[in-house]
Structures are given as C-alpha cells and as structure tokens.
Amino acid sequence: LPDVVAEIADHENFAGMKECMGHERIAEYSAKGIPCWSGNDEQSHESRYKHGGQGVISVTSNVVPGLMRKLMFDGPDDELNQKMQPLFKWLFQEPNPIPLNTMMMQMGVCKPVFRLPYTYVPKAAREEIVKLVPELGAENFYGSEPLKVLEDSDFQHVVPVDDH
C-alpha cells in the first residue's frame, strides 16, 4: 500500500482510490477498508466481484453505458464480461482518448475534429469496430446513428491555441 494513501485514507474528504495496478492492489485496499475503483475496464468485472472493488472509472461506459452498468451492478456475469473483452481491447489499442474519440465520431455523437497532437485510429481499426457492434447489440451503443466507417478525409485536425 503506498504510504501516501495510508496517510490520507482517514481524511474526511477522501472517497477512495482509482487503481490501475490490477486486482492485487484493489484487494489490498479493500482488505484495509479503503474503497477502490478499477481504472482498467477489462479487469473491472473481476476486480469488483472477486477482489473487493467498488466498480470502475470507465472509458467504455461512454459508448455502452447500459452494458457497463449491468457489468458492475447486476451481479457477476462472466459471459457478458467475456463478450465485452474485444470492445475493451479496441478502446485501449492506442492511448486514451484516441480510440474513444474516434468511435464517438463514428457514432455521430461529435464532429470528426481532432485537436493536435491527437488523431484518429487507422482505417482498419475503424472497420473492425463497426464489425464488433452487432456482437454486443447496436441498441446498447450510445447515440442515435449507426456506427459507420469514416474515411481519413472525413477527419479534420485543429491546432490548439495558447490564449496566455
């Protein structure tokens, strides 16, 4: 247990930890009565139901909120957890928020505009995610438009402006 966590865990404003070091660390916090949320979507189900985690601080919940809620609050569901693993893998193939933003753009939730240095995932990955949607059910994905493959030319990039 990191010393700093032990020092602040009893503070009135301390709510708990987001932990990305895996199940063992979550179990260690839980054993000491420290609430802990997984920061790894792909491990969150096991962390919650087998290692004492409270839930997850989730990227995936931005695209399939109902499925993530079910995974965290409806009891152990190893079948759903396994079914979601390809989506977790896809969302974390590149550093966050690149795949998430690309997917939200493919869903029509936001305009296909990236602020540099961020950019879209390769077209092969954009095609792959469209093929994954039916396996989880299109009705489970956020947004009202069907997921579509965007061409490279559909994306725009903007340069951040420093106002200071």
pLDDT tens column, 74-107: 999 999 999 999 999 999 999 989 999 999 999 9
pTM of the model: 0.92
pLDDT given for residue 66 in this prediction = 97
Q: What percent of the chain clears pLDDT 70, i.e. is strictly above it? A: 100
Is 22 a residue whose pLDDT tops 80?
yes
Q: Cβ neighbours of residue 8 under 8 Å, at least 6 residues apart?
A: 14
pLDDT, the chain, mean: 95
Q: With bands split at pLDDT 50, 70 and 90, how would you rate the model's confidence at 59?
A: very high
Q: Could you give the angle at the alpha carbon of 56 between the alpha carbons of 54 and 62, nearest 5°?
A: 145
| Rounded Cα–Cα distance for residues 131 and 139 (Å) | 14
**For the chain, what percent of residues have pLDDT higher than 90?**
90
Stretch 60-66: mean pLDDT, rounded? 97
**Residue 161: its pLDDT value, please?**
85
How sure is the predictor about 58, in pLDDT bands with cuts at 50, 70 and 90? very high
Mean pLDDT within 46-72: 97
Sorting pLDDT into bands at 50, 70 and 90, what band is 164? Answer: confident
Q: Whose CA is closest to 54, among 68, 35, 67, 70?
A: 35
